[in-house]
Chains A and B, each alone.
Chain A
Amino acid sequence: MKTEELIINPQGKTEEYFINMGPQHPATHGVLRLLLTLDGEIVRKVDADLGYIHRSIEKMTEFDTYRQIVHLTDRMDYLSAHMNNEAVCLAVEKGLQIEVSDRVKVIRTIMTELTRLSSHQLWWGVIGMDTGALTTFMYAFRDREMINDIFEETCGARLTMNYFVPGGLMWDIHPNFQKRVKDFIKHFKTKLPEYDTLLSDNVIFRKRTEGIGILSKEDAISFGVTGPGARASGVRCDLRKKHPYSAYDRVEFKEILGTKGDTFERYRVRILEMWESMHIIEQLIDNIPEGEILEKTKAVIKLPKGEFYQRVETARGEFGANIISDGKKSPYRMKFRSPGFSNLSVIDHLAKGWKVADLVAIMATFDFVIPDIDR
């Protein structure tokens, strides 16, 4: 290039180049492959290449009974395992036209809120790592460990719980459950302000996140973004408020809404959601009503012909389970609407024009779980 050209066009004409981010990359949190087109440090285009952990769960459901399908959903968004289970259970219950007891509803709500807390804790630890503060990860895991213990004691597993079954729960809660949950809430209320001191208020973190990757309300709706990512842009999309399921209609909580829609707003929404989750659990934990744990169902569940859809709010957004039944013991077709897939589509739009480091921060605030995207 001649010197005059550089003077006329001070930005110069630089060569764009491709770079493969993933499938083995620390910031993609799994086997997500992003094809970046970069101009120096600046991101020009993000192409997501999916399918590295595709296990065809939707196809597998066509050969499984409805009870067996539930345990597959554990393995999709493994950080929101209970919510995924709940979506399938509620859809099946819709088809069977059974109503679970109040006890089941309340326990399900407590469990899903605990899952939301544990998912957000892990996300907080990881966003610290993605922005370079490695210590947050261990602090988050310290608190998450308590929730995992609660799950292990009641459900028998720490990650893939398979605790909700169509018609109720696999077992009743463990006698220690209420005490442990209360201990955890007490502990976490002292630790959550520390999260703010360590990361939210930190000037470097603020500079890294404020005003970065702004998602407007209109874009959030048109890209189908749900969950905290959309609520940070001011979209009222909390299904717990809009279409209450389980016991959400009997608890009082705020739908956290942001205005700016930038990376920090998405961060803030998640932190505040942790407070709300604790608030919900506190309302329910002492008032678990008595009732049947498992409604009577046939040994092999057969849904009537038709289509049954149920959506729930996971830690990442709207998760939907759609069953098309032809009256047999397995669904004719089952489709899952996973929040991560829609949220991923907005990355290209958000990261354009920002730097590689910003792309990592933006990705971290959407909290992708790759098996959820690929299924």
Chain B
Amino acid sequence: MYDFTGLIQGINKWLHSILPAVAADVVGWILIAAAFLGLFAILGLVLVLAERKIAAFFQLRLGPNRIGPWGIFQTVADAIKLLLKEPVGTNRADSFLYNLAPYFVIIAALMSMSVLPFAKGLHAYDIDIGVFFVIAMSSLGVMGILLGGWASNNKYALLGAMRSGAQMISYELSVGLSILTIVLLSGSLRMSDIVASQSDYWFIFKGHIPAWIAFMIFIIAGTAETNRTPFDLTEAESELGAGFHTEYSGLKFAFFFLSEFVNMFIIAAMGAILFFGGWMPLHIGGWDGFNHVMDFIPPIFWFFGKVSFLIFLIMWFRWTFPRLRIDQLLTLEWKYLLPMNLANILLMAFIVLMGWHL
């Protein structure tokens, strides 16, 4: 539970011992892909249930409670329903793009997940531009939304998709710049390096005030990236009905729906990795006894604990705030977040230069 390096290497060695080298590699990749697909499905189901339960508690309700104890199989039943549903679409839609769009979204989400370090040694692809890779992939996801809205040949969907385009282009900047603030501290884009350099203090403590500001900007922009309230203009059910996925049903709708939740997980995981030390336990430099106690909690729990906290925060936003208007959304980004972000980077660079960080 503490270090997965041995386990992963053991599996790898065992595969190589029974299979030729190429076959062993292919089988290894398939195993990893299957593991990620499994994680994807489980995350989708768990997060949808969690959202519904948390929303219910915010709203003084009980939430789903009919299927299974406390309704824990509700989302499984929903998934089965969506799978069995007849795919209804418009016949004037551009069918190729219309069918392609959900896969764009879901593949982008899956690929971003591949570079996340879940625990020590539990890391599919420790690419040296890991952070950059996630940003790049999340920009790809918006293509799916744009395509879906455009190809459905529905004015509501088109409005939602166009809003999404404007929103994504703007908020990519904020996410990127707030991440850059932290990269200044870590000096690396490799996820494992970022986590490892937080072994004494998490970056949010290390970077003093600029790190806090960067975190706030990151969580705001991240919420916008995942199209959740108060930035859910692409769906905006009180204005556009369902926004870009108005014309989708059944499995294709499920893809859009799941990827929204997985994107939320990715944003929360990125927040945890960049600001809260990823799977690194809470360490305070010099307090060896305290650090040892903290080490008893396995890293994977630390990681998922931090991620759940951030997901809860994003859900809390959703069930409290009203939605912004499209021009206010852009005003917030270009007039408030971006200048603050740039000033913040300068401040962080100065702190790093002077060696004032912890």
Contact = CB atoms under 8 A, between A and B. Distances in A.
Interface of A: 17, 19, 25-27, 41, 128-135, 137-139, 142, 198-199, 202, 204-205, 207-208, 355-358, 360
26 contacts: A17-B155, A19-B156, A26-B237, A27-B238, A41-B326, A128-B322, A130-B238, A131-B323, A132-B232, A132-B236, A132-B322, A133-B322, A134-B59, A135-B319, A137-B59, A204-B322, A204-B328, A207-B325, A208-B324, A355-B325, A355-B326, A357-B236, A357-B239, A357-B323, A357-B325, A360-B239
A142 B322 contact: no
Interface of B: 55, 58-61, 155-156, 159, 163, 229-230, 232-233, 236-241, 319-328
Contacts of B324: 204, 207-208
A194 to B, nearest CB: 12
Contact of A204 (B58, B61, B319, B321): B321
Contact of B230 (A132, A135, A199): A132
A204 B326 CA distance: 12
Contacts of B238: 26-27, 129-132, 360
B325 A135 contact: no
Contacts of A207: 324-325, 328
Given A41-B159, A135-B58, A199 B237 contact: no
Given A132-B230, A208-B325, A25 B320 contact: no
Contact of A358 (B60, B233, B325): B325
Contact of B59 (A138, A202, A205, A208): A138
B323 A132 contact: yes
B331 to A, nearest CB: 9
What 5 A-B pairs are tightest by C-beta distance, nearest first? Answer: A132-B323, A138-B59, A131-B322, A133-B322, A132-B322
Contacts, number: 81
Contacts of B240: 356
B68 to A, nearest CB: 24
Given A133-B322, A202-B321, 6 more contacts: A132-B322, A133-B229, A207-B325, A207-B328, A208-B324, A360-B239
B154 to A, nearest CB: 10
Nearest to A357: B325
Nearest to B328: A207
A177 to B, nearest CB: 26
Contacts of B55: 134-135
Given A132-B230, A132-B236, A132-B238, A138 B322 contact: no
Contacts of B323: 131-133, 204, 208, 357
A132 B230 CA distance: 7
Contacts of A205: 322
Nearest to A355: B325
A135 B322 CA distance: 9
Nearest to A198: B320
Contact of B60 (A17, A132, A134, A138): A138
B157 to A, nearest CB: 11
Contacts of B236: 132, 357
Contacts of A202: 321-322
Nearest to A361: B325
A41 B61 CA distance: 36
Most chain B C-beta atoms within 10 Å of own C-beta, residue among A19, A26, A199, A204: A204
Contacts of B326: 41, 355, 357
Contacts of A41: 159, 163, 326
Nearest to B323: A132
Nearest to B60: A138
Nearest to A128: B322
A208 B328 contact: yes
